[in-house]
Amino acid sequence: MTDLANRIARRFGSPAVVIDLDVVARNIARLQAACDAAGLANRPHVKTHKSPILARMQVEAGARGIACQKLGEAEVMAQGGLDDILIAYNILGADKIGRLGALLRTTRVMVCADNPTVVAGLPEAGAIAGRPLGVVVECDTGRARAGVTTPEEAVSLARDIASRDGLAFEGLLLYGPEDAVAQTQAFLDATLAGLAAHGLAARIVSTGGTPNLRDLGRIVGATEHRSGTSIFNDRMMMACGAAGLADCALHVVATVVSRAAPDRGILDAGSKTLTSDTGGGLDGFGLVREYPQARIARFAEEHGFLDLSACPEKPEVGAVVRIVPNHVCVTVNMHDRYVAVRGEEILGEIPVAARGRVS
């Protein structure tokens, strides 16, 4: 691919974010097949790619709806023709409620909530839309992020949702730790029993995470799964065993612009291109495919500092390389476009349409 990388750099400049649509399609098909085999609906999380074009590829392959992390992402996806959208985030504030109501008028959309304050504000969106807003209760089964922390809280919040005009209780949203299937199952079983005792049922039990694909189907009662990173993969997914190098569909094409010392090089891709996310403790800030012993040791905003001390062969100034990012979701959000390829063929550009939609 070195020739292709050079052609991309000449045509589009560097750094450039490149996706191989053959690998993308293979990753989409693999996820869909895994969900089908587990008897789960596939609801891919578009926060990774932020593109209605790629989301449509996922739906055409069999996905039943999509997940978004923020309202702005959902608005872009709806404008791009996507429907059946789950926004996996607490939505608060008059501005967002107004936007949510406008979106609900034309699009099937659900949101999640993990506290009564959020729930209390949501009926206004249903009133604006003239139809009920579906709400799922987000549950924390050990990851210690958002979510209610006990089955009793989940049942209480579900009852609150079900009691309100303009809202419909739809189910539960989970993102359990990769090593806590039994803990997640116990939480879910207790919550479902508590719901049944109050005449409620969870139409949706949505599990999540690309690393959790290894446990797909092991949570009894789950109905769907949300996976985002699996469409592209990255060093984090390689490190946790969820992907191999051949599964990495996205690379940053960058150029070595300086070799000011024998064991040091400078890339034209710094923290504004690759992100300073360590990926949970990975060594360096990306994998240089042509020089795997090289370390992207540190960043300035526009400079990536290469430690070449372990490289038997070292790149010269002008060398064009491909980098697998530590965390592809953050990398994508810093760029306006993908350069799309199939194998050695350059196809053109795809906009990162929901880039920066963080509200």
| CATH code for the domain in which residue 313 is found | 2.40.37.20
Q: Which two tokens stand for residue 88?
A: 């996996």
Based on the number of CB atoms within 10 Å of its own CB, is 60 exposed (0-12), middle (13-18) or buried (19 or more)? exposed
DSSP annotation string for 194-235: HHHHTT---SEEEEE-SGGGGGTT-STT--EEE--GGGT--H
Measure CA of the first residue to CA of the last residue in the chain; give whole Å. 38
Which domain-ending residue is among 233, 253, 273? 233
pLDDT in tens, 193-223: 999 999 999 999 999 999 999 999 999 999 9
* Residues shown for the chain: 359
pLDDT of residue 292: 96
Residues 224, 87: one domain?
yes
pLDDT in tens, 37-83: 999 999 999 999 999 999 999 999 999 999 999 999 999 999 999 99
Measured CA to CA, the distance from residue 22 to residue 29 in angstroms comes to: 11
**Mean pLDDT calculated for residue range 111-122:** 98
- Asked if 183 and 141 count as a contact pair (C-beta separation under 8 A), the reply is yes
- Asked if 171 and 202 count as a contact pair (C-beta separation under 8 A), the reply is yes
- Asked if 229 and 48 count as a contact pair (C-beta separation under 8 A), the reply is yes
- Asked if 304 and 270 count as a contact pair (C-beta separation under 8 A), the reply is yes
Q: Which two tokens stand for residue 59?
A: 């739906």
CB neighbour burial string for 310-322, b if at least 16 within 10 angstroms, e if fewer? ebeebbeeebbbb
Residues 137, 50: one domain?
yes
Residues 227, 240: one domain?
no
Q: Is residue 55 part of a domain?
A: yes
Q: Which two tokens stand for residue 25?
A: 């399609």
Residues 222, 240: one domain?
no
Q: Which one, of 75, 69, 66, 116, lies nearest residue 95 by Cα?
A: 75
Indicate the pLDDT class of residue 162, thresholds 50, 70 and 90: very high
Residues 223, 247: one domain?
no
> What is the rounded radius of gyration, in angstroms, for the C-alpha atoms of the chain?
22
DSSP code of 265?
A: E
pLDDT of residue 2: 75
Q: Is 307 helix (H, G, I), strand (E, B) or coil?
A: strand
Q: Is 278 helix (H, G, I), strand (E, B) or coil?
A: coil
- Asked if 176 and 143 count as a contact pair (C-beta separation under 8 A), the reply is yes
Residues 306, 203: one domain?
no
User: Is 30's pLDDT higher than 60?
Assistant: yes
Q: Is residue 358 part of a domain?
A: no
pLDDT over 70, % of the chain: 100
Query: In sequence order, which residues have a C-beta less than 8 Å from that of residue 193 and are 6 or more positions away?
Result: none
Cα 154 from chain centre:
25
Instruction: Supply the CATH number for residue 171's domain.
Output: 3.20.20.10
Domain total in the chain: 2
Rounded to two decimals, what is the model's pTM?
A: 0.96
Residues 179, 293: one domain?
no
Measured CA to CA, the distance from residue 247 to residue 24 in angstroms comes to: 8
Residue 263: domain span: 2-19+236-351
Measured CA to CA, the distance from residue 351 to residue 359 in angstroms comes to: 19
Which domain-ending residue is among 213, 233, 253? 233
**Mean pLDDT calculated for residue range 262-271:** 97
pLDDT of residue 209: 96
Residues 55, 161: one domain?
yes
Residues 51, 153: one domain?
yes
Beta-sheet pairing, 167-174 with 204-208: parallel
**Mean pLDDT calculated for residue range 97-113:** 98
